[in-house]
Amino acid sequence: MSGGDSRAEERRRLVDGLTSSTVLVLGDAMVDRYLRGEVNRVSPEAPVPVVRVTETESRPGGAANVAAGVAALGAESRFLSAVGRDEEGRRLGSLLSGQGVDPGGLMAVDDRPTTVKTRVVGRDQQMLRLDREDRTSLGAGARERLVERALEILPDVDAVVVSDYGKGLMDGGVLPRLLRAAQREGVPVVVDPSPARLDECAGATVLTPNAREAARAADATAPPESDLELARLRERLGVEHLLVTLGGDGMSVVGPDGQVDRIAAGRVEVYDVTGAGDTVAAVLAAALPRARSVAEAARLANRAAALEVQKLGARPVTRAELEADAAEAG
């Protein structure tokens, strides 16, 4: 079997196995709101375009988008997060339910609002983003309840995704506790990190920083490129595998043996990169339990990211889309 044929077969096998995975997603949930409209004039009040809003749409965002992404693959998605005791928190629960994710893991708290990111889009271009959020730490009592629930679920899942957007949910040592428990249970953990918390990721099965985050972790102006630089950064962070996402340049994966797999991005028309990192995390976690290697799962995640960036906004890549992509590959 040729290399191309074997990769196509690998992809089909992994896609077929996605439905047998159960994935716990833990992280910062938010609502992504899109205000779309027409732009025909400039405001007389200031030199800014006037967007006449014709459509409003809300979707799960942040870690909630990862949870929806896992469900879209046909895997079982278990989601834990905190939202405000407000209308937006209830809205997020309904949005998740509509995408096949049980909203029962959303914990409503009194001392913070649900995070909402509102994007104003005119002529299919994002013109402005408005964020409503509270980035302070989640209260100690609520945090402890969240961790206890995660530890209860852990023995019943095949993989975990930690999606840390730095909104306060993962403060107070949540990540190290979860990683230690997952190691005891033998459950792989994919961490999509907050740049401020890279030093807490030791023990992760796969850490997925983007190029900017990897450069920051390496105390450099550019991300590590050579095999030696990547291997040193992996060892410095104490993770089993380091996967650096490089946008249009694909991704680089380095494991404990220092071997680096460089995965090309493929040529696609990039429409919107929003949600690409969430897609990588969701597909990696769902594929890992059936993959022969992290690099094999990463190749499928790379293809999923290529499908994601061809969509406007964060829209989960479905199992059907991956099946069609695998069929097209031969």
Measured N-to-C along each axis, helices 63-72 and 87-98 cross at an angle, to the nearest 10 degrees, of 20
Dig out the tokens for 95 from the structure: 């949005």
- High-pLDDT (> 70) share of the chain, %: 94
User: What is the chain's length?
Assistant: 330
DSSP 60-79: EEEHHHHHHHHHHTTSEEEE
Own/partner long-range contacts of 306-311 (Cβ < 8 Å, ≥24 apart): 306/265, 306/266, 306/268, 307/268, 307/279, 308/275, 308/276, 308/279, 309/268, 309/270, 309/271, 309/272, 309/273, 309/276, 310/268, 310/269, 310/270, 310/271, 311/271, 311/272, 311/275
Which of 33-37, 113-117, 247-251, 256-260 bottoms out in mean pLDDT, i.e. has the lowest? Answer: 247-251
**pLDDT given at position 313:** 66
The most distant pair of C-alpha atoms in the chain lies apart, rounded to whole Å, by 66
Mean per-residue pLDDT, 243-260: 91
Residues 255 and 288: beta-carbon distance below 8 Å: no
- Spell out the domains of the chain, with CATH numbers in brackets: 3-31+60-111+135-325 (3.40.1190.20)
Residues marked as catalytic: 278
Which of 7-11, 276-280, 308-312 bottoms out in mean pLDDT, i.e. has the lowest? Answer: 308-312
Question: pTM for the full model?
Answer: 0.92
Sign of the four-CA dihedral 15, 316, 25, 198: positive
In tens, the pLDDT along 5-63 reads 677 788 888 888 999 999 999 999 999 999 999 999 999 999 999 999 999 999 999 99
